Amino acid sequence: MQEEIIQAVLEGKDVLALLPTGGGKSICFQVPALLQDGLCIVVTPLIALMKDQVEQLKKREIVAVAIHSGMSRYAIDVLLNNCIYGQVKFLYVSPERLQTEIFRERLKQMKISLIAVDEAHCISQWGYDFRPPYLKIAALREVHPHTPVVALTATATRQVRDDIMEKLLFRNSSTVFQKSFARENISFVVRKTEHKEKKLVEILQKVNGSAIVYVRSRKVTQEIAGILVKRGIHSLYYHAGLTFDERASRQDDWIQNKARVMVATNAFGMGIDKPDVRLVVHLDLPENIESYYQEAGRAGRDGLRSYAVVLYQDADVTNLQLKVEQSQPSIEYLKSIYQGLANYYQLALGSSEGESYNFDLQDFAERFQFHPIEVYGGLKKLEEEGLIQFNESYYSPSQVHIITDHSRLYEFQVAHARYDAIIKMLLRLYGGEMFSGFVRISEAYLAKAMKTSQKEIISVLQQLAERSILVYEPSKDKPQVTFVLPRQDAAQLPVNRIRLEERKALLLAKMKAMIDYVISSHRCRMQMMQAYFDEDTDDTCGICDSCVEKRKQDNMHDFEEIREEIITILARQMLTVEQLEERIAPRHHELFVDVVREMVDEAILVYDVNWRLGLARTN
């Protein structure tokens, strides 16, 4: 639907586009923005995703910048000036930045061609990931009332869709584009088992190709990856606690198929465009259908047959119920967490609006005697209420911006010979762009080029900053807490009690829908997904575990007949699946595939190295 969406945007219509994960949503606003004069503002809560898209655009020589939490006021000031007076085509901005005075004032001077709202479900309190700062997007329309808005999301119920259009003040000429939630090439499977690790290994041995295994805790990512490696399955683990370099290196190795399996928390996967993922396995139950649909949808983006599997046991249902309960703390607990943050950073009342701080959850919990899991839930709820922003995995490279002009810089170099060499090296390596804005630098590379230590380079850059020659922002690689609003009086914390109760009821209902999906065994799983998103259909997918089992029961005679024929033929010689099907010539292709799959699952049949099927040898 990309072409139709682009055309509607070019006609000046407000557009809501519901496209599945991997459906190419960014093209739907990037192309029309490039075809028009002016700047496109892209609102997204995902810092990693905005950084990735900015880099991709820059590689195509398209000028794009990003403004988000963790940046200094000066850096934001420079980038906003460039959006007014420079050639910037795309401004990516996190929703909490829309509220700041500096952004509101500069917005009036910008020529805006399009407003794109990514992850648009975040604007609705009926969605699973509501964020109050998203409600401020409507203020953009007050300043630029005739600028079209395109809102994009992968997952939204009818209630959420209506809420998105209402909150974004869609005009009468608005259009909704919705692709079916059905993923025809993904086989959704649920297996109840008391031995999840053993079952996981079995599945990975039967389904070839790249895989993602999702678990809930950081510790378990390492444990499961270790188990798989011992079984000869090349695996890596990934979570928000790793350094930026570790995360980037592992992600690249997996994307390039140097490692087959990535065992990860849900910190992994957003914005990753790998088309040939054949298998996504969840060893812990997701909290809601929306999250599961997005994560499972990372399989099979190339359109080829893929599998999305949930492995669970009875204890997982109880654990999920407990986790969701813990994620909904009382108002009194929220006040104590907020006061703890104020004490942790020693913040005065009314201070620190827009300021970001490194955050160590374990240290914070120990210092104020909180339980880490409940602290996490409290931070997420404070974020949901628009008081703070909490980024678990944050990375910002070192940057430099020369704030003096060429002639004064030359005078400084002549007067201070000890700084001359590094200034010349900066200009040689990073060019004149440093005069117009921030440029990424590498202290390690500078040190190597100047045959000195990295520590010395950092010291000299800090000295130049103190002398107002440049602005130096060292790299950050720790979780960040950003105060969206000025520091509040915790006793009078501005939280919406009614909304908190409504949100708790909503999230419990979403959890129940996830549990119902898992424990159900009679209805097509894809049909259940579609029904959840208000897409009514009588069609079944034919490839999920429920459909396969139903086909077996409805054709038991044919099923047993094919099974006997397979045993008879393979007792004499080994054949590929294609050769075997040609020999048997079954009336139902899918039934034949079901029989083969079940016989492989039961270890009656095995594959050799040339992917020929044969009977398993028994002693």
pLDDT tens, residue by residue, 289-320: 999 999 999 999 999 999 999 999 999 999 99
pLDDT of residue 24: 82
Cβ atoms 187, 304 nearer than 8 A? no
Strands 306-312 and 186-192: parallel
pLDDT level of residue 271 (50, 70, 90 thresholds): low
- pLDDT for 479 equals 87
State residue 494's pLDDT score: 92
The domain spans of the chain are 2-178, 186-312, 322-383+483-506, 399-473, 555-615
Q: What is the pLDDT of residues 85-119, one digit of tens each?
A: 888 999 999 888 887 888 988 999 999 999 999 99
Q: What is the pLDDT of residue 31?
A: 96
Distances 567 to 19, 570, 577, 589 between C-alpha atoms, Å: 45, 5, 13, 18
- Binned at pLDDT 50, 70 and 90, residue 481 comes out as very high
Strand partners, 614: 606
Residues 326 and 547: their CA atoms lie apart, in Å, by: 36
* pLDDT value at 21 more than 80: no
C-beta atoms surrounding 234 within 10 Å:
14
pLDDT of residue 619: 37
Residue bearing tokens 């908190």 = 500
- Polymer length of the chain: 619
Task: Give pLDDT, residue 618.
Answer: 56
**Side chain identity at residue 485, one-letter code:** L
Yes or no: say if 322 and 287 are a contact pair by the CB < 8 Å rule.
no
Q: How far apart are CA 466 and CA 456, in angstroms?
A: 15
Domain 555-615, CATH among 1.10.10, 3.20.20, 1.20.5, 3.40.50: 1.10.10
Residue 561 CB partners (closer than 8 Å, separation 6+): none
Q: Are strands 210-214 and 277-282 parallel, antiparallel or unpaired?
A: parallel
CATH architecture of the domain formed by 2-178: 3-Layer(aba) Sandwich (3.40)
Write down the residue that tokens 């998105």 correspond to: 164
Q: Which residues, 6+ apart, have CB-to-CB distance to 177 below 8 Å?
A: 1, 4, 5, 8, 15, 16, 17, 18, 19
Going across the sheet that includes 388-391, the strands are 356-358, 480-483, 388-391
Helix segments in 35-72, DSSP class H: 47-59
Distance CA 260, CA 152 (A): 31
Q: How would residue 569 be classed by pLDDT, with cut points 50, 70 and 90?
A: very high
pLDDT band per the 50, 70, 90 thresholds, residue 611: confident
Largest CA distance in the chain: 95
49: tokens are 């995703």
Four-way CATH pick for 186-312: 1.20.1440.230, 3.90.1210.10, 3.40.50.740, 3.40.50.300: 3.40.50.300
Burial 180-206 (b: 16+ CB within 10 A, else e): ebbbeebbbbbbeeeebeebbbbbbee
Q: What is the pLDDT of residues 35-46, one digit of tens each?
A: 999 999 999 988
Domains 2-178 and 186-312 share a fold: yes
Higher-pLDDT residue of 55, 224: 224
Q: What are phi and psi of 49, to 5 degrees?
A: -70, -40
Model confidence at 442: pLDDT above 50: yes
